Amino acid sequence: MQVVRDPGQMRRPARGSAVTIGAYDGVHLGHRHVLGILREMAAARDAESVVVTFDRHPAVVVRPDSAPPQLTDLDQKLELLASTGVDTTLVVTFDTARANETAEDFVTEVLVEALGAKAVVVGRDFHFGHGRKGNVALLAEMGADHGFDTVGIALEADAGGEPVSSTRIRGLVANGDVAGAARLLGRWHQVRGVVERGDGRGGTELGFPTANVALPPGLALPAEGVYACLYERPDGTRCRAAVSFGRRPTFYEDASPLLEAYLLDFEGDLYGEPARVSFVERLRGDERFDSVEALVAQMHADVARTAAVLQAAGV
């Protein structure tokens, strides 16, 4: 997949393009449904399939106090989009100037001039441009003038008839239902960070040395608790991991949440390495124990259950 970081750098496709526009946070099963339709529309028109997305969620600029946490950072989003088979992703910088741009100007600059759009497919409730005045009706109207078709489609639904959306998945993750989130994502929810030094208690006092993963701000994080996870190293090696995400209430009164991963299949130094942690199943909530001995006994049980859960999951 070709990635272009600015509309001004885009080589206008000689065959024209079929385009979809959106934040595409999570690249979940609903998104993949739209992208499947996009590829079909591109093939029918002998055109390139193009995803137009943004370098950050527009809400971060438009309403920063209520911007949603993100299911994927930009790098992961681009990796997931590449896995769908689309030809190109155009990443538009979303800043104050872009937020104040009219919907009409966005269509002219991006869809018509940069992409030579032959077709545009978006969700029926899609809105864009200053004041969210752009919608499917505007796209259809401008498409009639500029030679592109517009298709607005309903949100994909799960087996229970509920729509698959990034908002719904964020709620599941926040409640600790990572298994439910995985069913809508089509994969396990993953966070990425760098291993840093902690207080050293895990290995010396508890007998469970952990990788403390420092996470960047703005990510969708699960409810505090203990999880069966997969931990991926920079070389692609995957290890089974019992992961605690919480405030360590047995030792601290008011600590910030910390992600600590105990790797079942690895011994060695991970400091400074990038880490990818995928959440498979929540085992329990965050708890305060009356003694270190009680905590250690529970950690042994957590590790045993982690192994069983991941074996059942086939990993």
Question: Domain containing 136 — which CATH number?
Answer: 3.40.50.620
Domain-embedded: residue 211: yes
**Per-residue confidence (pLDDT) for residue 203, from 0 to 100:** 46
Is the domain of 148 the same as that of 212?
Answer: no
**Per-residue confidence (pLDDT) for residue 160, from 0 to 100:** 85
Mean pLDDT of 231-251: 85
Domain-embedded: residue 163: no
**Per-residue confidence (pLDDT) for residue 168, from 0 to 100:** 97
**Per-residue confidence (pLDDT) for residue 151, from 0 to 100:** 96
Residue 216: pLDDT above 70? yes
277-289 pLDDT per residue, tens: 999 999 998 877 7
Domain-embedded: residue 227: yes
Q: Hey, what's the torsion of the CAs at 177, 75, 241, 272, to 10 degrees?
A: -140
88-118 pLDDT per residue, tens: 999 999 999 999 999 999 999 999 999 999 9
Strand order in the sheet with 48-54: 2-4, 88-92, 48-54, 17-21, 117-123, 149-153
Q: Residue 253: give the domain boundaries.
A: 177-312
Positions marked active-site: 260
Structure tokens at 259: 């992600």
1-10, 46-55, 175-184, 193-202: the lowest-pLDDT one: 193-202
Residue 43: pLDDT above 90? yes
> CA Rg, the chain, in Å?
22
The model's confidence at residue 268, banded by pLDDT at 50, 70 and 90, is confident
The model's confidence at residue 264, banded by pLDDT at 50, 70 and 90, is very high
Structure tokens at 41: 């529309």
Q: Which amino acid is at 41?
A: M
Coil, strand or helix at 311:
helix
Domain-embedded: residue 165: no
Domain-embedded: residue 164: no
Backbone φ/ψ region at 272: left (φ over 0), alpha (ψ -120 to 50), beta: left
Mean pLDDT across the chain, nearest whole number?
Answer: 91
Write the CATH number for 245: 2.40.30.30
**Exposure pattern of 173-201 as b/e (b: 16+ CB <10 Å)?**
beebbbbbbbebbeebbbbbbbbeebeee
Number of domains in the chain: 2
Residue 252: pLDDT above 70? no
Is the domain of 81 the same as that of 130?
Answer: yes
Kindly report the pTM of this predicted structure: 0.91
